Structure 1
Amino acid sequence: MENSNGNNGTQPSRTDSSLTIAPAVASSTAPSSSPIAASSKVESAVDPESGVPAVEKKTAEEILAQVVETLPMRQLAPAFLGVALAMFMAALDNSIVSTALPKIGTQFNASNKVEMVFTCYVITFNAFQGLYGKMSNVFGRKPTMFVAILIFVVGSILSGASQSMNMFLACRALTGAGSGGIFSLSNIVIADLVSIRDRGKYQGFISGVFAISALIGPVMGGAFVDKVSWRWCFWIQVALAVITVPTLAIMLKLPRPKGNMMEKIKGIDWLGTFFMAITAVFLLLPTNLGGNMYAWDSPVVIILYVLAVPSILGFLYVEAKQAKHPIVPPYLWKNRNVVTLLSINVFMGMTFWTLIFYLPIYFQIIEHETATDAGLTMIPLEAGIFIASNVVGLLVSKFGKYRPYIFLGTAIAVVGICLCLVLANTSSKAIHVLVLLVCGLGIGQLFPCLIVAIQASVTRQDLATVSALHNFFRMTGSGFGVAINGALFQNYLNSNLVKAAIPTEYAEIAMLSAQSIVNIPEPYRSVVEGIYLDSMRLVFKATIPMAALMFLLTFRLQHVRLNVKAEATTEPSTPARTSLEAKGEMTLAEAIEMPLEEDEKTKKDKEVSK
């Protein structure tokens, strides 16, 4: 469908004359019979990288605003393989480290700092989310992905070589900076390759890759810890990178931004990135330190929380008033679906990562399982995620609806978290399997649905931004969830160990090294294990309201049509939609994808912001 202004399915947006890019494959390879495909045949030289006319040049923002048609399978399969390998590598790192943490804490005599490992990772994971999204627009998806992978691999190598807990924390922070880019760019690249209607199916596959890595990770990590060394949990990433990087380099074909390098660098919102980074630090760090290494009313904790306020205000001011190309355009905060979905992501991160982080500790300390066995015990959770994410992803693509599955997934997740209290009261393997399977079937539905929903709620030019925010808010939630539950766990554990009728030296052993509990003689060991079990129950209880809030937020979601097929043209029109299409300011597919009642309002918000 060719607009009156001559652009094939483009949408007016802010442009930078110094940036030109060959049009995306997806927008020019659609069959002519499609109501949203370009109707004219191009007879000109073909760009060897993108496979589209080299003579037709458009700005980067124009290309990113184009309608995307799913590529033919012969082109999509190899590109998707490269993205899946990158996601597998980053996701494996997440799952493998949870199994190794008890051993790492014991070796460095710092079991009371294991929650800090995750917090350091999350802070840097979040700090550069907005930057990765903008850099992928300016420098291209592939170069930015390679930079993220390089940072990730260097961080992993140094993590495995760490000689102290403080060094390990710093290296995990470096790893998080790279991992954040891999996660965000994987979602962005899939959106470049696949139409909004088919995206649920392919996001389901990616969620399946995540589940497989989470299934393999604890088992592999347990084997390394028990048989070789925990350091190999991180060095294994080098081997995976050797496979992933060449695969991406050869098989992933995407548009290549052109233009002056200095102009590109100047166009990045560096000040906004700085405020986003320090906001993550000021929010997550005191949440982890409070009640653990410092008292909640200590000056360090209070000052960090106080500093979070001006950093948030500074970020909002820069994005609204100063940034030429803001990493988070202010008009997005007026989009009801975007705000709701980001809020759901916060509580999903709290819920999911609490399970991933604390269940292996529970099975090793309370159930006396080895690290390998603890990894195997997590299989039902990951199996549930794998099944639910793939089935729901296919259903979203088939019927073009995501809201029912978000509602159902959050409801089942609440039930699963409540059942974790039953898990903590029994050693029955059958009950363990049932509880973890229910949790996985609930949470698994959310992985493909939430990313598709938030991408469908904005126009193409904001796709990279909301994809980055999607990961930012989820990992922020995970950081808060682990930190809050870690503070509750450690406070309850320490205070009750002090009160318990056991010698002081045994109480100190239990505080500093969870795995050293086996060296405490009876009957004191039973007392210590009872206190650990009560501390774990407290964690599960605290997670229930987090999951419940996630469920309640689903009632605020508005449905956005995902139809981009022929039957989509039969949808009733509205004056706002007709006007936008007539002016060439919105393609038919984008008009269908946006909520009917919000088209004109969203347009006005964007005009005011610009």
Structure 2
Amino acid sequence: MFMAALDNSIVSTALPRIGTEFAGSNKVELVFTCYIITANAFQGLWGRCSNIFGRKPIVFLVVGIFVLGSILSGASRSMNMFLGCRALTGTGAGGIFSLANIIIADLVSIRDRGKYQGFISAVFGISALLGPVMGGAFVDKVSWRWCFYIQVALGAITLPTMAIMLKLPRPKGNVWEKLKAIDWAGTFFMAIFTVFLLLPTNLGGTMFPWNSPLIITLYALVIPTAAAFYFVEARYAKHPIVPSYLWRNRNVVTLFGLNVFMGMTFWTLIFYLPIYFQIVEHETATAAGLTMIPLEAGIFISSNIAGILVSKYGKYRPYIFTGTGGALIGIGLCLVLATTSSKIIHVVILLVSGLGIGQLFPCLIVAIQASVERKDLATVSALHNFFRMSGSGFGVAINGALFQNHLKNGLRDAQVPAELAAMAISSSQKIVHLPVEWRGIVEAIYLDSMKTVFKATIPMAAIMFLLTFNLKHVRLNIKSTTDADTGSGTATPKTSGNDEKTMITNDATTATTTAAETTTTTTTTKANM
């Protein structure tokens, strides 16, 4: 988890330099979109494969893909090559994020999961704290390529550690039967749905006009692709990656929506704040990374406190409510951030945002796992990440289009000479090389464009807050590994005995359930002693 989270935060700091070196600052948002598209396209597949082949082999596979993508990203020689390598990296990263949550669900009782998810969120916070600092140091002192090569060293630690320490049962059955159990049609439609949804949102208004045939066609294909995916999962797939009855579960659907808007809100901050501090506040990449510390500190503190409180009292809804409310306040305060250079105000605003968002990391995953039966844990854990990362890509793409359009229109309205405007658009770092009489004007336009991004993020956070009111609480029983029977949105149907015997994943489910129940019993016994 540290590897994947560090990659996310370290790249955002290096992007301005990468865009400058490859003369592709207008494609910077595509870096994130390529990563998100592939991370999401295979979320359902990784969750399903972990049921069929076992958690451990799939963890090794996704970590290997992630490290390979990082190596190739660092070795890239053009922007197009870099985008392709980031897409490969995203394929592995999506599996890492999902399987971390799935494995914790296997090993830890639902009541204790909040605490362990708090630990995971803390790892995420630490990596997000170190990422901008390390990325800034690499960019300023060595080379941006080391932002990716560092993953080789982390992989050399991670893989042997997992081989020795991670003890999980492995399902029985031959490889051919396991391959046939994979929902290939569902995986295909899920992948192309992700492409049709995210790609035009990023390309529109920047590389192509919104009314261009390509953008219109891609958007037009979203609904029929989604319908085809639903039909395949409901009527055709024997072992669907997304069972249709999940869409009738009120809590599950609400939490999917919460994850979408959390991704929009959180990753807009992570993506654009370092750029803001470098361009508007004239900070170095290293200084911009250090300026982000209050945000990550807030996430670190609140995620652990919320996780501990969820484990102690068995309630998650109050912390989702305060978390979304705090995030909304923090985003609103970012408008103040864009009008002042006071470091104290910067710290307060970022800390408030982090304290709000941090509570959501452990609580949302516990809430969605508590709302389903054990057989659906891997599915909803993967979809939890799918919707959050989709929101991330969608939010960054929308705000990227708004930013670029506002910047271009502002430069045109200010009658900035065409060659200087092209320089400012192609690379934000070239602003310092503009003639003095135009530099202040261009910086003011950049600042106004950044305000547009913050304003657009406020309704995203507001919708996230409002969705909290639709959540129905599910009591977390300390003696149970899942609590769907205590009051989830709707009851999920059970698999019949005959069908259960024919499922290739039955051995894996039984084994992991036994392991989880053993761990839960041991934990409960120790707590009672």
1:594 aligned partner, one-letter code: D
> When the two structures are superposed, what TM-score results if normalisation uses the length of structure 1?
0.80
Confirm or deny that 1:400 pairs with 2:314.
yes
CA contact (8 A) 2:74 2:146 kept: yes
Residue equivalent to 1:306 = 220
CA contact (8 A) 2:110 2:481 kept: no
Residue equivalent to 2:514 = none
Residue equivalent to 1:326 = 240
- Provide Cα deviations, 1:208-256, integer angstroms capped at 9, x if missing partner: 0000000000000000000000000001000000000000010000001
1:125-164 alignment, distance < 5 Å? 125-164=39-78
Residue equivalent to 1:173 = 87
Residue equivalent to 1:290 = 204
After superposition, the CA RMSD in angstroms is 1.5
Whole-angstrom distance in 2 between the partners of 1:137 and 1:255 = 11
Residue equivalent to 1:581 = none
1:373 aligned partner, one-letter code: A
Whole-angstrom distance in 1 between the partners of 2:413 and 2:64 = 49
2:493 is paired with a residue whose SS is helix
1:313-392 alignment, distance < 5 Å? 313-392=227-306
Confirm or deny that 1:537 pairs with 2:427.
no
- Provide Cα deviations, 1:495-529, integer angstroms capped at 9, x if missing partner: 11122132221111001010000000112000000
Whole-angstrom distance in 2 between the partners of 1:505 and 1:590 = 63
Q: Decide which of 478, 485, 488 is 1:594's aligned counterpart.
A: 485
- Per the TM alignment, residue 605 of structure 1 is displaced from its structure 2 partner at its CA by 10
Whole-angstrom distance in 1 between the partners of 2:304 and 2:148 = 28
1:257 is paired with a residue whose SS is coil
CA contact (8 A) 2:109 2:482 kept: no
- Per the TM alignment, residue 602 of structure 1 is displaced from its structure 2 partner at its CA by 3.1
1:602 aligned partner, one-letter code: T
1:343 is paired with a residue whose SS is helix
Where in structure 1 do 4 or more consecutive aligned residues deviate above 2 Å? 589-599, 601-607
Q: Decide which of 431, 442, 464 is 1:528's aligned counterpart.
A: 442
Residue equivalent to 2:493 = 603
2:242 is paired with a residue whose SS is coil
- Per the TM alignment, residue 311 of structure 1 is displaced from its structure 2 partner at its CA by 1.2
- Per the TM alignment, residue 184 of structure 1 is displaced from its structure 2 partner at its CA by 0.3
2:4 is paired with a residue whose SS is helix
2:258 is paired with a residue whose SS is helix
Whole-angstrom distance in 2 between the partners of 1:604 and 1:512 = 56
Residue equivalent to 2:10 = 96
CA contact (8 A) 1:410 1:443 kept: yes
Whole-angstrom distance in 2 between the partners of 1:528 and 1:159 = 32
CA contact (8 A) 1:288 1:483 kept: yes
Confirm or deny that 1:513 pairs with 2:427.
yes
CA contact (8 A) 2:66 2:89 kept: yes
Residue equivalent to 2:103 = 189
Confirm or deny that 1:418 pairs with 2:418.
no
1:6-45 alignment, distance < 5 Å? none
Whole-angstrom distance in 2 between the partners of 1:105 and 1:603 = 51
- Sort the Cα spacing of 1:598 and 1:300 in 2 relative to 1 into closer, same or farther, 3 A: closer
CA contact (8 A) 1:334 1:605 kept: no
- Per the TM alignment, residue 595 of structure 1 is displaced from its structure 2 partner at its CA by 3.7
- Sort the Cα spacing of 1:126 and 1:452 in 2 relative to 1 into closer, same or farther, 3 A: same
Confirm or deny that 1:452 pairs with 2:452.
no
- Per the TM alignment, residue 153 of structure 1 is displaced from its structure 2 partner at its CA by 0.6
- Sort the Cα spacing of 1:592 and 1:538 in 2 relative to 1 into closer, same or farther, 3 A: closer
CA contact (8 A) 1:459 1:590 kept: no
- Provide Cα deviations, 1:349-393, integer angstroms capped at 9, x if missing partner: 000000000000000000000000000000000000000000110
CA contact (8 A) 1:155 1:172 kept: yes
Q: Decide which of 199, 224, 230 is 2:113's aligned counterpart.
A: 199
1:464-483 alignment, distance < 5 Å? 464-483=378-397
CA contact (8 A) 2:111 2:478 kept: yes
Confirm or deny that 1:430 pairs with 2:321.
no
- Sort the Cα spacing of 1:326 and 1:503 in 2 relative to 1 into closer, same or farther, 3 A: same
Which of the two has greater helix per residue?
Answer: 2
- Per the TM alignment, residue 594 of structure 1 is displaced from its structure 2 partner at its CA by 3.0
Whole-angstrom distance in 2 between the partners of 1:189 and 1:141 = 7
- Per the TM alignment, residue 590 of structure 1 is displaced from its structure 2 partner at its CA by 6.5
Gaps of 5+ in 2: 501-529
Whole-angstrom distance in 1 between the partners of 2:59 and 2:147 = 22
Whole-angstrom distance in 1 between the partners of 2:387 and 2:455 = 23
- Provide Cα deviations, 1:64-114, integer angstroms capped at 9, x if missing partner: xxxxxxxxxxxxxxxxxxxxxxx0001000000000000000111111110
CA contact (8 A) 2:374 2:482 kept: no
Quick check: which has more Rg, 1 or 2? 1
- Per the TM alignment, residue 606 of structure 1 is displaced from its structure 2 partner at its CA by 9.3
Whole-angstrom distance in 1 between the partners of 2:461 and 2:156 = 39
CA contact (8 A) 1:562 1:593 kept: no
Whole-angstrom distance in 1 between the partners of 2:203 and 2:377 = 35
- Per the TM alignment, residue 597 of structure 1 is displaced from its structure 2 partner at its CA by 7.3
- Per the TM alignment, residue 596 of structure 1 is displaced from its structure 2 partner at its CA by 3.4
CA contact (8 A) 2:62 2:93 kept: yes
CA contact (8 A) 1:559 1:595 kept: no
- Per the TM alignment, residue 308 of structure 1 is displaced from its structure 2 partner at its CA by 1.5
- Sort the Cα spacing of 1:199 and 1:552 in 2 relative to 1 into closer, same or farther, 3 A: same
- Per the TM alignment, residue 310 of structure 1 is displaced from its structure 2 partner at its CA by 1.7
1:425 is paired with a residue whose SS is coil
Whole-angstrom distance in 2 between the partners of 1:430 and 1:591 = 44
1:542-557 alignment, distance < 5 Å? 542-557=456-471
Whole-angstrom distance in 2 between the partners of 1:591 and 1:147 = 28
Whole-angstrom distance in 2 between the partners of 1:604 and 1:191 = 19
- Per the TM alignment, residue 593 of structure 1 is displaced from its structure 2 partner at its CA by 4.6
1:603 is paired with a residue whose SS is coil
CA contact (8 A) 1:346 1:477 kept: yes
Whole-angstrom distance in 2 between the partners of 1:223 and 1:109 = 22
Whole-angstrom distance in 1 between the partners of 2:495 and 2:437 = 67
1:523 is paired with a residue whose SS is helix
CA contact (8 A) 1:561 1:594 kept: no
By relative contact order (CA 8 Å, sep 6+), the higher-ranking structure is 2
Q: Decide which of 108, 122, 126 is 1:208's aligned counterpart.
A: 122
Whole-angstrom distance in 1 between the partners of 2:412 and 2:489 = 58
CA contact (8 A) 1:125 1:176 kept: yes
CA contact (8 A) 2:307 2:362 kept: yes
1:433 aligned partner, one-letter code: V
2:88 aligned partner, one-letter code: L
CA contact (8 A) 2:38 2:88 kept: yes
Residue equivalent to 1:500 = 414
2:436 is paired with a residue whose SS is coil
Residue equivalent to 2:520 = none
2:69 aligned partner, one-letter code: G
Gaps of 5+ in 1: 1-86, 566-588
CA contact (8 A) 1:564 1:592 kept: no
- Per the TM alignment, residue 314 of structure 1 is displaced from its structure 2 partner at its CA by 1.0
CA contact (8 A) 1:319 1:329 kept: yes
> When the two structures are superposed, what TM-score results if normalisation uses the length of structure 2?
0.93
CA contact (8 A) 2:121 2:300 kept: yes
Whole-angstrom distance in 1 between the partners of 2:203 and 2:371 = 37
- Per the TM alignment, residue 564 of structure 1 is displaced from its structure 2 partner at its CA by 2.3
- Per the TM alignment, residue 591 of structure 1 is displaced from its structure 2 partner at its CA by 7.8
